[in-house]
Amino acid sequence: MRDAGTDACLEGILSLSGDSRWEIDRAHAARNVTAYVVRSFDGSALVFSLPLLVLRPLCAEIPLDPRGSAGAVACIIERIKEKAASDEALGPLVGRGCRFPHQFAALTEPYTVVSSPAALASHLWHAGGRNVADGRGVHLLVGGAVPCPAAFPHREVRGFIGTVARFCEAVAKVTFSVPARELEAAWMNALDQQILREMLPGKGLVSFVGDGAHLARSYTRYRCYFRTAGPKTGMSIPFTCPPDLSPIELELPASKRIVTGLGIRKKEVFAVAGSNAEGKTTFLEGIIAGMDDHAPGDGREMVVTVQGLCTAEATNAIMTGADVSMFFSSLPPGISGTVHAASGMGSGSMSMAYQVQRAVDRECPLLIIDEDRAAPNLLVGSALQKDDVTPLSAILCHDRGRMKETALVFAACAMDTLVAQADRIMVLDRHVAHAIDREEFRKRVALSLGKMARDLMAGEKRGNAGERRD
């Protein structure tokens, strides 16, 4: 059933003429999608959405590659969010005057992802999709909430329309107030990341982690996923590539700045090792987030990864025609088909085997494995493991070619025999990166295994002696 009151409010705001700085973006005003006025669930607020065109011609003002324009749009959006707390006219953005303003807090949640190949945080206001810059100006899908009147006489409808008009004027005012030099810096920052990502394969790389990157994240109610989480407040140790890991130097294509850092190479196996809670997972998450472009201040601006990255985790999952022949020469009971086309409820190790093999077969440029989320029995061998299972450590040792074109980055603490197969080993100690020579590490592993064997034999002798005394 249509609400005549909210319909009148919607018609009124769609008819707003604006001024020299803004207008209703009628070409993108899709009713009930981008343009609407509805009552909140509890009936205490009027929630609205409106496509707005701010007539600041950024693309003419900043004559750079338009691919970086999302950086400038993101900068504008974040500035509007910041002003909303003090600017009365921007009050709808924070639900000012509404009974439950916290319901609209997501509208002003800071957001430091400029653009992403994934659909991240669609409930937050950020650049991309319907918030873009073009030759006409800056297109912004704005929204907010105002207290809902008990009835909708002409006076209330007129008052609502006036509130929204002042809101639009305030949005335009902030948009025009952001200095061009600040917008240009944000634009160039996004452009640097995009072009550098495209350049990585030509440099023999799949990922780059710049010196000074802050990878640790702070999570909020609205940004509880590492790719969307903001920079960690308080202690955050910047990354520095150890000299023994052969740091590389790159020129950023747009800004022409020179940056140094760690380059992950095509087809290499790179280990991130260390004790518990030393930042291994955080480092892997930073590499994954390198597929996104980040705003200045995020901490991951100079972490850039090629698109198409894959991850593999141990999860029980239904498989249909899954190829697991890279790891299994026969199927366990309960799984039908063949190792080239297995079907059934796969265990953590079998489903992970399928994920790894699928990534390799599709020539995924980079595969990420975290020990914390992996099946250990698929990664390293054991005394109980049957001959029909070939763990990843054995594959890397004896048949590296089975990884084809895929580079592997993994984090491990208790998988020495897997780490020993890496081309390069980085150890995180108190969150600071160090390098370990592979041959030296292999010697340490051999000594450790030898000591373990001697301890086991000594324990067996002590046990036998005790039995004789008894």
pLDDT in tens, the chain (470 residues): 467 789 999 999 999 998 899 999 999 999 999 999 999 999 999 999 999 999 999 999 999 999 999 999 999 999 999 999 999 999 999 999 999 999 999 999 999 999 999 988 889 999 998 999 999 999 999 999 999 998 999 999 999 999 999 999 999 999 999 999 999 999 999 999 999 999 999 999 999 999 999 999 999 999 999 999 999 988 789 999 999 999 999 999 889 999 999 999 999 999 999 999 999 999 999 999 999 999 999 999 999 999 999 999 999 999 999 999 999 999 988 899 999 999 999 999 999 999 999 999 999 999 999 999 999 999 998 888 888 899 999 999 999 999 999 999 999 998 999 999 999 999 999 899 999 999 999 998 899 888 988 888 887 666 665 665 65
What local confidence, expressed as pLDDT, does residue 384 receive?
85
Question: Is 354 within 8 Å of 326 (Cβ atoms)?
Answer: no
What is the rounded CA–CA span in Å between residue 378 and residue 397?
14
**Stated pTM of the model:** 0.93
Alpha-carbon distances of 446 from 52, 117, 415, 441, 453, rounded to whole Å? 66, 44, 13, 9, 10
Encoded tokens for 75 = 């900068």
Question: Is 340 within 8 Å of 371 (Cβ atoms)?
Answer: no
What is the rounded CA–CA span in Å between residue 314 and residue 355?
9
Q: Which helix (H) or strand (E) holds 354?
A: helix 348-361
Structural Rg of the chain based on CA atoms: 28
Question: Is 356 within 8 Å of 324 (Cβ atoms)?
Answer: no
In which order are the strands placed within the sheet that holds 317-322?
317-322, 341-346, 336-338
Domains and CATH numbers, the chain: 4-185 (no CATH), 200-436 (3.40.50.300)
What is the rounded CA–CA span in Å between residue 408 and residue 147?
54
- Alpha-helical runs (H) found in 102-244: 154-177, 180-199
What local confidence, expressed as pLDDT, does residue 1 receive?
45
What local confidence, expressed as pLDDT, does residue 449 receive?
86
pLDDT in tens, 417-448: 999 999 999 999 989 999 999 999 999 889 98
Buried b (16+ CB within 10 A) or exposed e, 411-442: bbbebbbbbbbbebbbbbeebebeebebeebb
Alpha-carbon distances of 332 from 102, 267, 345, 391, rounded to whole Å? 53, 31, 11, 16
What local confidence, expressed as pLDDT, does residue 467 receive?
60
Q: Which of 367, 17, 331 is nearest to 207 (CA)?
A: 367
Q: Which helix (H) or strand (E) holds 217?
A: strand 217-218
- At 424 the three-state DSSP class reads strand
What local confidence, expressed as pLDDT, does residue 236 receive?
85
What is the rounded CA–CA span in Å between residue 264 and residue 424?
10
- At 342 the three-state DSSP class reads strand
Q: How many CB atoms lie within 10 A of CB 150?
A: 7
Mean predicted lDDT score pLDDT of the chain: 94
pLDDT in tens, 344-403: 999 999 999 999 999 999 999 999 999 999 999 999 988 888 888 999 999 999 999 999
Q: Which of 64, 132, 113, 97 is nearest to 298 (CA)?
A: 113
Cα angle vertex 308, ends 59, 128, to 5°? 30
Alpha-carbon distances of 134 from 127, 182, 454, rounded to whole Å? 13, 18, 71
Please report the beta strands in 27-135, taking only residues with DSSP state E, as ranges in sequence order.
Answer: 36-39, 45-54, 113-115, 132-133
What local confidence, expressed as pLDDT, does residue 453 receive?
86
Q: Name 24's Cβ contacts closer than 8 Å, sequence gap at least 6.
A: 13, 14, 15, 16, 18, 50, 51, 52, 53
What is the rounded CA–CA span in Å between residue 310 and residue 365?
8
Torsion sign, CA atoms 366, 372, 378, 383: positive
Question: Is 101 within 8 Å of 93 (Cβ atoms)?
Answer: no
Instruction: Name the residue with tokens 């920052």.
Output: 189
